[in-house]
A = this chain, B = another copy of it.
């Protein structure tokens, strides 16, 4: 079965500690979170690499969610990408304790033939040169959605600008938008980013929700207020995956489809942070997704 969404990013093991507890070597990675979130709406395929320690259990878990793994490379020369870190207080920021790139250091994102015509592409948060490598291999996608992070903004701003020139949507954290554009005005930052090429800029603001700037449009959506956040890891990736999944399902990329898609992304991110790793997002029901979708509508309704 052909995939709807090509997802390129990391598949990882994470050890995370937060005020709510801790987990050791749990499934993580940007492509993992995004694929799981997208899988509730469309068929995603992952291009990533795992090492010799990657368990069959996790392969099966992803397959059972309808995620295509033909693009998942296995490199037996080393272990899977490993990240350890913790969050404090309001958990707005991750503190890294250890990063072992392992097999990810030699990752070459080769897109399988069966993935090259995928209509939707999510360039997860990886080195901009790898994101460009992916863009060289895909064939006329309907929409390319690009995520990034402060690390690449600081170390590879020029290469990142090259990526932005070739994508339709840039999805970025608020602080990163300010940092990349050297401004403290969000409309100005969005305008500068759009000048590079993308026609939509989605800015993630954590507990303050998300805003989307288009060429002549603006949309703002709150996050769902949660009584307890256990682990924020993967929230941004779940958001991106849910958003792209919902767009793929709609088979349309107009403003209305994007608005509905951001709601789906917000719902997936809200479930993601309520438990460690992908414990909660891996086993959601349609009922749970629908319920929070209705909630967001009621939270934002102006009579």
Measuring CB to CB, which residues of chain A are less than 8 angstroms from any residue of chain B?
89-90, 184-188, 205, 207-209, 211, 213, 218-222, 225-229, 256, 259-260, 263, 296-297, 299-303
For A205, what are the chain B residues with a Cβ–Cβ distance below 8 Å? Answer: 208
Verify A259–B301 contact, CB threshold 8 A.
yes
Verify A220–B228 contact, CB threshold 8 A.
no
Other A-B pairs, 13, CB within 8 Å; known A90-B184, A296-B302? A187-B226, A205-B208, A208-B208, A209-B222, A218-B225, A218-B299, A220-B225, A220-B299, A221-B300, A259-B301, A259-B302, A260-B302, A300-B302
Chain A interface SS verdict (over half): mixed
Verify A300–B300 contact, CB threshold 8 A.
yes
Verify A303–B259 contact, CB threshold 8 A.
yes
Bound complex: CA of A186 vs CA of B207, how far in Å?
10
Given known A222-B211, A225-B211, contact A263–B184 (CB-CB < 8 A): no
Bound complex: CA of A209 vs CA of B221, how far in Å?
11
Q: Which residue of B lies closest to A227 (CB)?
A: B187
